[in-house]
Structure 1
Amino acid sequence: MSRLVSAPASMPPPDAVADHAVSTGIGWRHPHYAELLQSRHALDFLEVHSENFFAAGGAALAVLQQGREIYPISLHGVGLALGSATGVDLWHLDQLALLVDRIEPVRVSDHACFARGMWKGQAVHAGDLLPIPFNDEALDVLCRNVQQVQERLKRPMLVENLSAYITLAGSERSETDFLGALAQRTGCQLLVDVNNIYVNALNVNSARLPGDAPADPVLACKAWLDQLPPAAVGEIHLAGHCVMDDIVIDDHGSRVADDVWRLYAHALERFGAVPSLVEWDTALPPLAVLLGEAAQARVLAQAHAPRAELVP
């Protein structure tokens, strides 16, 4: 199985890439564009949302190209809707392919979800990451769409586990078995979002029936991680979440929670020091706070995966 662990040969060594045995990065968002370009903080890579740079030109693409001259770039999508039975939107895929050609990213990823469907005879997009059932029919759809994307991009991609707020009927497999089968059948890799796993575990507890004892969310998440094939995992995401009265929301609007850091350490012991990213998308803090979270991820990775090779 291919592992997306190195930059394309044509990429010059960025002068601000951190000299570490562990690859850590941050999500690069608009309020931090200028400061990061000017300061050139030592980071191993930056991640951006692919769809924000689909325009053929303009200021956004120009900024991304400047960033690409300094840092390796990872493209993370939120719109492919890989689990949609109606298939992948060809215009969307074409724009992604053009962006990949321009930027030469170290990784390309999206989510195991659906968003596209038919409504009153027309194709519509829900504008959200909606869960899919873990059964053979949904797996066939997901595999077909992932393979189509990989063939168009001429590279393996990474597929991320979802934070889901409903339990779908019709699931016949566990999520980890479903994702492992996806990786085996398509040659894609898995982007393991540790915060998503934790959010789901907390919400399962919130939805338990009266009289049912709550499960330990950390133990449940460790069991989830232990069920994935290590060779299939190509990246880890970390983020914060919001605890409300009766639901936990994966809002990427705060520091990584202590339990999520504990789960990250467990994931490193299980998967090795795969590239790791801190996401922060709402209520953005000063850049220094985000850099501090990335530094903590690096410290944990160096402690829990000391034999890792350099992975940009």
Structure 2
Amino acid sequence: MDNLVKKVKEGIWSGRTDHLENKESFRYHQIVELAQLDTLDTEGKACVIIGFESDEGVRRNKGQIGAAKAPNELRSELAKLPWHVSSEKYVVDIGTIDCTGNDLEKAQQQLGDVVNQVLTKKMTPIILGGGHETAYGHYLGVRNYIGKAAKLGIINIDAHFDLRPYDEQPSSGTMFRQILEQDENSSYFVLGIQRYGNTQALFDKADELGVIYICEEDMHGEQLVQVNKAIEEFFQNNDFIMLTLCTDVLNAAFAPGVSASSPFGLSPNTVRSIIRIVSSNEKTLSFDISEVNPLLDENNRTVKLGAYLVNEAITSFLN
């Protein structure tokens, strides 16, 4: 299995050191352990970081490539953050899956294999994409782990449905249609949909496939009470949950470095709140972040925000 992933570059997990022995002063770079998948110690509660270097799906979807650069950039920013989790819990980085050439389908299957192995070891996969095609490999691993009969709920924080046809080939815009048409025990809930970021045909397809969705304009202020109720109902109707974040859901003022930015997006605080609620639920198995594009970023703002949101997921899973 270890031949599927390449090791993390030396120096990625580095940063300021306030104290060498006092764990209350530690940052991520002092906590994260580098390990191989086959030798992971399953004692104790842990999150396992998996990189997925791919923007082949974005290229096929005629988007702006560059998200393949995100995993290591996210690691570098995450490394600097203070650690606020109890000492018996930890984070392991097992490396990165690289989508070589145009063989997206192979890379997604490899990601699925690794996610399944991590879940089998009773650990929590934290996947750093990559284009949002990351989510399909993520799904393959979760479904393999829970079996065909379990009800899987997919929560996607996203401006777009990603329900486009995949007759010619899959892309970063087709994953959830692939899942819903191939897996009768899956259900799909999207938070942050942009009314003018999706065609009417995609809204119609969402209705046809039974997709639950809440538009961005309905996710502000007091409306969030109803959003939280909808999330809770979705949990009740499913056996397991996987969480995926497409960072183009964020307002472009906060996240300019994404593959498809929007001036009408969610605030970081709203996205953080959703991540906390979903990741802290015992039914949630895993998390991925996608579409951070360092090549389009301004002063590393989006990468830094992405790392903060990954931290929210890790902290919620472990606390």
Name the TM-score, length of structure 1 as normaliser: 0.42
Name the TM-score, length of structure 2 as normaliser: 0.41
